[in-house]
Amino acid sequence: MNLEAVWHDLECGGYVEDLALWRELAADAGGPVLDVGAGTGRVTLELAARGVDVVALDVDERLLAALAARADGLPVETVVADARQFSLDGRRFSLIIVPMQTLQLFGGRPGRAAFLRCALDHLEPGGVLAAALADAMDCFDDEHDIPPPPETREILGVRYASQLLTVVDDDGRAALHRRRTIAGAEAEDVIIHLDRVSADEIATEAGALGFATEPHLHIPQTEEYLGSTVVVLRAPAGNGGHLRLGSVASGAFRGTGRTCESRQSESFGRTVP
């Protein structure tokens, strides 16, 4: 039993609101896609099923093992690597995607900068990097004072449940407290930390490395899930990799992404890391 994959599927697998956006970006890009933080393949498999060549990168080999098993016959490769430090033998992609809040898992600004540099080194000239950021991460308010119901699944007669308990501030980051329960066993509490950063801040950080910023895109919130802002960054037409120290930022800055903070008091929604 690949328990990590079970929890990942429970906590991320049901999210479909963003899939149309990734499909559209992949169709526009018309080339190979790198899915960063691919997990068990929610987005990778959706694109590959439409004939897109996808490289699925994740730091967790157990999740990629589940993805690979599901990708039978599809144009998918898996790479176990840290997104902040990867090198794929000179390969270049027309599109790099970072779905859900994965970019908020990279350990703040230094981690994001390391990832952005790696991404630039793997983009074709004019290629696009698109990353989704949670619009809000404070989920209890007057209207929604209880968490959403747990995600549950029965596998071989055993019930698995994952319940978001609360989201609190932890030294400037959002700390998501979850309780994972396997029927008949002791519950396990896990905490996932997400950096609070806006799409505009990402655009500024990326501009300093040589990316240009396209208008942000939006994934609407639903009753169950928070909305996201997708920051869209374009590599220079003559992309030879990231600018070295001392380079002048050349990124044009546009767009009006909403920050997490600007929607703090809005409705309860699930975040899905």
Ligand X SMILES: C[S@@+](CC[C@H](N)C(=O)[O-])C[C@H]1O[C@@H](n2cnc3c(N)ncnc32)[C@H](O)[C@@H]1O
Residues of this chain that bind ligand X (CB under 6 A): 12, 37-39, 42-43, 58-60, 63, 82-84, 99-102, 105-106, 273
| Minimum distance, C-beta of residue 252 to ligand X, in the bound complex (Å) | 28
Non-local CB neighbours of 196 within 8 Å, separated by 6+ positions: 104, 137, 172, 173, 174, 260, 261
**Chain centre distance of CA 226:** 13
Cα distances from 153 to residues 90, 159, 161, 263, 273, in angstroms, run: 41, 6, 7, 31, 17
**Which residue, 177 or 249, has its beta carbon nearer to ligand X?**
177
Nearest by Cα to 103 from 87, 119, 121 = 119
- Residue 40 or 198: the one with the smaller Cβ distance to ligand X is 40
Is the Cβ of residue 60 or residue 124 nearer to ligand X in the bound state? 60
Q: How far is the CB of 102 from ligand X (least distance, A)?
A: 4
Query: Which residue, 37 or 251, has its beta carbon nearer to ligand X?
Result: 37
Q: Kindly state the smallest distance separating residue 247's Cβ from ligand X, in Å.
A: 25
Find the residue with minimal CB distance to ligand X. 37
Judged by beta carbon, residue 103 or residue 212, the one nearer ligand X is 103
Type of residue numbered 254: R
Q: Is the dihedral of CA 7, 95, 136, 101 positive or negative?
A: positive
User: How far apart are CB 249 and ligand X at their closest, in Å?
Assistant: 25
Q: 120: which DSSP letter? A: H
Please report how close the Cβ of residue 51 comes to ligand X at its closest, in angstroms: 20
